Amino acid sequence: MIMEIVRKIAGLIILFAGLMAIVLVLEQAINELGGHPDMEQKVFWPVILPVFLPVAAGFLIFGYFALQGEYSSNTEEKSEEKKTESEEA
């Protein structure tokens, strides 16, 4: 029971950390690219942003699942039963 609560709190922390990371990275990118970017900045951000944003979105979904209790023991057992049933079908 305690672990289930800890998992939900962790889900909230993940959601918050994911949003913070997106805001901070975008802010940094806009600041650097908006001014007079040097060669290093011009190479760095176009590589990082298209990669970072989808991964950050995945992190938010992970946090959402955690908050919904998807990683609690009971839910996982049900999921595994469901998975086995769908395979057998």
Partner 1 sequence: MTRRREHILFKVITASSVGTMIEWYDFYIFGTLATVISAHFFPKTDPTAAFLAVLATFAAGFIVRPFGALFFGRLGDMLGRKYTFLLTLVIMGASTFLIGCVPGYAQWGYWAPFSILILRLLQGLALGGEYGGAATYVAEHAPVGKRGFYTSFIQTTATLGLFLSLGVILLVRKSMPVETFEQWGWRIPFWISLLLVLISVYIRLKMKESPLFDKIRREGKRSAHPLKESFTQKENLKMVLLALFGAVMGQGVVWYTGQFYAQTFIQKTMHIEYEQSIYILATAFLIGTPLFILFGALSDRVGRKVIMMSGMALAILCYRPIYKEMYHLADVQRKVLLNEVRAEEAWSENVGNVSRVKVTKYYTDGTRIEEIHAPTEPTSEANPVELLSTSVILPGQQQWLLVFLVFFQLIFVAMVYGPVAAFLVELFPTRIRYTSMSLPYHIGNGIFGGLTPLIATRLVNMEVERGNGGDYYLAGLWYPMIIAGACLFCGMIFMRRDHNIAE
Which residues of the chain form contacts with partner 1 (CB under 8 A)?
A: 6-7, 10, 14, 17, 39-40, 43-44, 47-48, 51, 55, 58-59, 61-62, 65-66, 70-71, 73, 76, 79-80, 82-83, 87
* Helix (H), strand (E) counts: the chain: 3, 0
DSSP 8-state secondary structure symbol assigned to residue 26: H
Q: Closest Cα partner for 66 from 22, 16, 29?
A: 16
Q: How far is the CB of 36 from partner 1 (least distance, A)?
A: 14
